[in-house]
């Protein structure tokens, strides 16, 4: 019988069906970081359990790291305590730790792919909802909680209920200035932030097939923002080419064997999906998620919606969004002034993201009064960008060039909004209080759009800057 990639990976990793009806699923790759793992290690210590497969767990530090002064001990005692806990846990249980000294530290969802740890056909778990990112390789990747991290450490398995699979077909050619970020924001906007509950999303279609690995990572990263815990893309030549030569990818003959197996895991041509959604890429415009969830988005050319013009079920959410943002219903989104511009995160903190933003920034200046920062997704991204001179290009334009971490995506480190600041952000969530200040406001957009907003001081259609070059 024809199977989806999801079915193939799930069935291969199913250890057994549990009495509850859930599946005990083997996890091929477990990634951990400092925020959600210390309690899990404490639990296995208390229960006198070991780590069953320490060679299948890898750690890095990202959420709490300061992006300016990284000297130890950190200025924040609590951050230092978490860092020490992770160092001790990795040492005690024999887990590889990509720390600062390794020069490979970074946001966990950037590190896994760039190390070649994330591979097609794997099950991946990490105590972070954006673990869906890794699905870009044709892996089935789950964000999990701390108790599940405990289970994975102790058994390399977790108990899960099988979701349905929805195919999201993206067809057509993206216009210049429209990016992978706009594709996923548009999908969330159309299907809603709850639309994916109970589903894994398979992203397919010619638009997706033409995307680079980094673009695919952006798409899968935000599946969770549409309610889908898992998002994935079938592996192909792009996937294989990306993996070749990565530190943890197989080498020589093993790589050829692996390639054949990876490609065999793709969904069969006649695989059946629970349902299907089609997005036309040809007509897609740059998106701006302006409200209090990533589904509340408009085209950059549009006006903010009037509550009376939307279906009744969206109205209350829209009124809540206006009550929080104080934006003007019916006003062009391009009128919204910004105070902060943030380029980075597991969604858009990779080299190609920084390059696209740099194209917009080159030869221009950040608008007066705007604080703009670039936070590379990893030390490797940072070095690669610096080798191309991107750091100098951004600095010359008035951006701050920082060290790698999650930074202002969730602001667990010192990078936070203040008061009523509005931030144009390449991250993934515009939730109330998300960027470290309960009254701060977040506009989600592509890195190029963030760069454009930084230059102009307000939301800007990046395409206008292309034509004026």
Partner 1 sequence: MESKISFVEGRAVAVAGDDVDTDRIMPARYLRCVTFADIGQYTFQDERFDAQGKPKAHPFNDPAFQGASILVVNKNFGCGSSREHAPQGILRWGIQAIIGESFAEIFAGNCTSIGLPVVTASEADVRGLQTAVLSKSAGVVRLDLEGKKVTYGGTSFAVDMRESSRSMFLDGTWDSSATLLSALPAVKKRALDLPYMAWGGR
Residues listed for the chain: 469
Helix (H) or strand (E) segment spanning residue 183: helix 180-191
CA distance linking residue 449 with residue 452, whole number of Å: 5
Q: How far is CA 44 from CA 47, 71, 79, 142, 155, in A?
A: 5, 31, 22, 21, 11
CA distance linking residue 256 with residue 264, whole number of Å: 13
Residue 53 Cβ, how far from partner 1 at the closest point, in Å? 7
Nearer to partner 1, 68 or 319 (CB): 319
Residue 288 Cβ, how far from partner 1 at the closest point, in Å? 19
Nearer to partner 1, 79 or 370 (CB): 79
Nearer to partner 1, 38 or 177 (CB): 38
Residue 366 Cβ, how far from partner 1 at the closest point, in Å? 26
Residue 254 Cβ, how far from partner 1 at the closest point, in Å? 5
CA distance linking residue 451 with residue 460, whole number of Å: 9
Nearer to partner 1, 390 or 443 (CB): 443
Going through 216-305 in order, the beta strands assigned E by DSSP cover 230-232, 275-280, 287-289, 297-299
Residue 371 Cβ, how far from partner 1 at the closest point, in Å? 20
Residue 155 Cβ, how far from partner 1 at the closest point, in Å? 5
Residue 336 Cβ, how far from partner 1 at the closest point, in Å? 21
230 Cβ contact partners less than 8 Å away, ≥ 6 residues apart: 6, 132, 135, 140, 141, 142, 163, 200, 201, 223
Residue 178 Cβ, how far from partner 1 at the closest point, in Å? 26
Q: Which residues pair with 143 in a beta bridge?
A: 126
Grouping H, G, I as helix, E, B as strand and the rest as coil, residue 459 is coil
Nearer to partner 1, 150 or 350 (CB): 150
Nearer to partner 1, 410 or 444 (CB): 410
CA distance linking residue 302 with residue 162, whole number of Å: 39
How many CB atoms within 10 Å of residue 467?
A: 8
Q: Which is nearest to 429 in space by CA: 410, 454, 413, 451?
A: 410
Residue 382 Cβ, how far from partner 1 at the closest point, in Å? 22
CA distance linking residue 151 with residue 279, whole number of Å: 38
- For 135-174, the DSSP string reads GGGT-EEEE--HHHHHHHHHHSEEEEPPPEEEEEEEES-P
CA distance linking residue 338 with residue 450, whole number of Å: 10
Nearer to partner 1, 16 or 269 (CB): 16
Nearer to partner 1, 90 or 412 (CB): 412
Nearer to partner 1, 226 or 398 (CB): 226
């Amino acid at each position: 019988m024809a199977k989806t990639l999801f079915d193939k990976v799930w069935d291969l990793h199913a250890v057994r069906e549990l009495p509850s009806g859930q599946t005990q699923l083997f996890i091929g790759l477990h990634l951990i970081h400092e925020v959600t793992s210390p309690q899990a290690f404490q639990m296995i210590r208390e229960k006198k359990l070991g780590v069953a497969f320490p060679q299948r767990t890898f750690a890095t530090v990202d959420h709490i790291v300061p992006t300016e002064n990284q000297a130890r001990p950190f200025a924040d005692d609590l951050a230092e305590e978490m860092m020490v806990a992770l160092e001790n846990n990795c040492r005690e249980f024999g887990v590889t730790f990509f720390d600062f000294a390794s020069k490979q530290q970074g946001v966990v969802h950037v590190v896994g792919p760039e190390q070649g740890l994330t591979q097609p056909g794997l099950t991946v778990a990490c105590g972070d909802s954006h673990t869906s990112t890794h699905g870009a390789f044709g892996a089935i990747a789950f964000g999990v909680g701390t108790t599940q991290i405990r289970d994975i450490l102790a058994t390399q398995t977790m108990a899960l209920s099988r979701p349905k699979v929805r195919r999201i077909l993206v067809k057509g050619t993206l216009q210049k200035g429209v990016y992978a970020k706009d594709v996923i924001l548009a999908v969330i906007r159309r299907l809603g932030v709850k639309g994916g509950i109970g589903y894994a999303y398979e992203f397919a279609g010619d638009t997706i097939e033409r995307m680079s690995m980094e673009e695919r990572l952006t798409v899968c990263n935000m599946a969770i923002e549409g309610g889908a815990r898992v998002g994935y893309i079938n592996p192909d030549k792009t996937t294989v080419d990306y993996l070749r030569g990565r530190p943890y990818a197989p080498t020589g003959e093993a790589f050829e064997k692996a390639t054949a197996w990876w490609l065999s895991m793709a969904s069969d041509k006649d695989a059946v999906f629970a349902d299907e959604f089609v997005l036309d890429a040809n007509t897609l415009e740059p998106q701006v998620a302006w409200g209090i969830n990533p589904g509340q988005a408009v085209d950059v050319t549009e006006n903010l919606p009037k509550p009376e013009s939307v279906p009744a079920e969206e109205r209350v959410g829209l009124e809540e969004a206006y009550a929080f943002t104080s934006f003007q219903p019916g006003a062009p989104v391009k009128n919204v002034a910004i105070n902060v511009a943030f380029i980075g995160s597991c969604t858009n903190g990779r080299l190609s993201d920084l390059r696209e933003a740099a194209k917009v920034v080159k030869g221009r200046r950040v608008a007066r009064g705007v604080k703009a920062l670039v936070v590379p997704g990893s030390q490797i991204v940072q070095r690669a960008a610096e080798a191309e001179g991107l750091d100098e290009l951004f600095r010359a334009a008035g951006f701050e060039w920082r060290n790698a971490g999650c930074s202002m995506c969730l602001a667990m480190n010192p990078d936070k909004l203040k008061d009523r600041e509005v931030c144009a952000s390449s991250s993934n969530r515009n939730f109330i209080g998300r960027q470290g200040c309960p009254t701060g406001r977040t506009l989600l957009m592509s890195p190029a759009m963030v760069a454009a907003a930084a230059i102009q001081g307000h939301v800007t259609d990046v395409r206008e800057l292309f034509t004026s070059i």
